[in-house]
Amino acid sequence: MSSTKSVRVENLEPEVEEFLLKQFPGQPDGYAYFGEHKYVHPKAYKDHVEGIYNMPLRKDDIWVATFPRSGTTWAQELTWLVSNNLDYEGAAKSLSKRFVFIEFPSYFPKELVNKPIFGHEDIGILMDFKALASEPSPRFIKTHLPMSLLSPQLLDTSRVVYVARDPRDVAISYYHLSKLRKIFEFSGDFKTYWRIFLNNLVISAPYFEHLKEAWKQRKHPNMLFLFYEEMYKDLPGVVRRVAKFFEKKYSDAQIRKLCEHLDIDNMRKNKSVNPDLNSTIDTEGAESFIRKGKAGGWREYFDEGMAAEAEKWMRDNLSGTDLRFPEVGSA
């Protein structure tokens, strides 16, 4: 089609490729850079990048977009329930079936695509963007892709909830996920992982470019930009903002019930959003997909030197912008 647009794709530098293959052996085919900001994704994403970038959109599509480990699951459950008139019975169905994780198939061998990934048909299907075309409306779509790798018409067509989180907490959570998931198989310590994160070599990095792309579009009427720290400090207030965004009205009692449902301890016990670990995608003996859910928990991991390094990195990358992360103390 003449209207189809292309995304820039480049191979990694040989020494970087060799380094990442050693650190993350769960992707034996390696990685590539995508887009002008050189976002890191598995090489298999080459088979998906054009299809996702040019995919047909619908007016009633609802997207939840984040950098990995930024409160995605929390925002998905909140978004789905607010949009579906607080249908808790419907929310008992697996979140991985209620939302399509659009680029997730590029993390796996092709033979697993469009097949159950959690061992049970009623829990999750590894569905690619082509299968999404036959999904009934409204479609709920999850992504860790930056705005520049999604359709340029996305915000003019569909609604997007974007969630950002302090990168220090993101790094810790991503580190634990990288030890949990077989698609990473990271076995190093946190200091090693932090160096990789800081150098924008984890999947979906560069981190700040990802956030700044969404931040620049935060005033678009179809974009709701949230901070994880806001959800942590004032969940009822965020619920009201989400309800307003989707043109829904709920009573104080309904909002209290939803906040109780979304409490991190209840989320951790909820099998529809936090399924049991299984041998298909998880490392034996690893911890839960939903962990502590803290804001400010990075203080338990960073020594004085790492903390100073992180502050400078954040300050340098936020220079010239008005993007700032809400303070949450030492919770």
* Span 151-196, pLDDT tens digits: 999 999 999 999 999 999 999 999 998 988 788 889 999 999 999 9
Mean pLDDT of the region 3-28: 91
Three-state DSSP class for residue 102: coil
101, 295, 270, 214 alpha-carbon torsion, rounded to 10°: -20
Domain range list for the chain: 56-318
Query: 304-318 vs 190-198: helix axis angle to the nearest 10?
Result: 20
Three-state DSSP class for residue 116: strand
> Contact at 8 Å (CB) between 125 and 115?
yes
Domain 56-318 fold is Rossmann fold (3.40.50)
Copy the structure tokens of residue 137: 């409306």
Copy the structure tokens of residue 54: 């040019």
CB-CB neighbours of 218 under 10 Å: 13
Prior bond to 109 cis, omega within 30?
Answer: no
Q: pLDDT tens digit string along 57-92?
A: 999 999 999 999 999 999 999 999 999 999 999 999
Specify the amino acid at residue 36.
E
List Cβ neighbours of 26 (8 Å cut-off, separation of 6 or more): 181, 182, 183, 184, 185, 186
**Cα dist from 7 to 46, 51, 107, whole Å:** 10, 10, 19
Question: 178 vs 2, which has greater pLDDT?
Answer: 178
What is the phi/psi pair of residue 262, to 5°? -90, 0
Mean pLDDT of the region 18-41: 95
- Kindly report which listed range (29-33, 113-117, 172-176, 247-251) carries the lowest average pLDDT score: 113-117
pTM equals 0.90
Q: pLDDT tens digit string along 228-244?
A: 999 999 999 999 999 99
